[in-house]
Amino acid sequence: MKYVSIVLAVVFIFFAALQYNDPDPVVWISFYLYASAMSFMVFYNKANIYALGVGAMAYLAGIFYSWPSTFSRATQEMSIMDPSIEGARETMGLGICLFTMLMYLTLMYTQKQNAKNNKAGKSKRTLVG
C-alpha cells in the first residue's frame, strides 16, 4: 500500500497542476493538494484518522454540491454552452479523492485492529506460557 500511496500522491499533484486554468483554480488545486498531502502522510505512516475523515467528508460534500444534472456528456469536449460537462468531471475528480480517503481510512482501521489483536494474542501467550 505504501507504493500505491506515493503513486496517488504524484497523480494528485498532476491533477492539481491541470486545474491552473480552471475558472476557480484555488478550490480545485486545494482539493487535489490535500489528497496528495494525505497520500504522502500515508506513505510515511504519519496519517491522522481525523484528517482523513475530514477530507472524506469535504469530498462527499463537494460531490453533492457539484453533482451535474446529467453525466452523459462527461467525456465530450468542454463547451461554454454546456456547463454540465465541467460539473461531471469535477464530480468524478472528487469521487476519486473520496475513494482514496476511504481506502486510507479502511487501511488504518485494519492495521489498528490487527495491532490490537496481535497485542492481545501476545499477552495471552505470556500469561499461559
Alpha-carbon distance of 92 to 46, in angstroms, equals 27
**pTM above 0.85?**
no
Mean pLDDT, the chain cut into blocks of 10 residues (129 residues total): 93 95 90 97 94 97 84 58 72 95 94 82 48
Q: Are 6 and 39 in contact (CB under 8 A)?
A: yes
pLDDT of residue 88: 80
pLDDT at 79: 56
What's the rounded Cα separation, in Å, for the pair 5 and 43?
6
The three-class DSSP label of residue 20 is: helix
The predicted pLDDT at position 126 comes to 41
Sequence letter at residue 44: Y
How high is the pLDDT of residue 78?
Answer: 58
Number of independent structural domains in the chain: 1
pLDDT of residue 116: 83
Question: How many Å apart are CA 75 and CA 125, to the nearest integer?
Answer: 58
What is the number of alpha carbons within 13 Å of residue 6 lying toward its C-beta? 5
pLDDT in the model for residue 96: 97
The letter for the amino acid at 67 is: W
H or E stretch including 125? helix 84-128
Model pLDDT, residue 127 = 36
For residue 76, give its domain range: 2-128
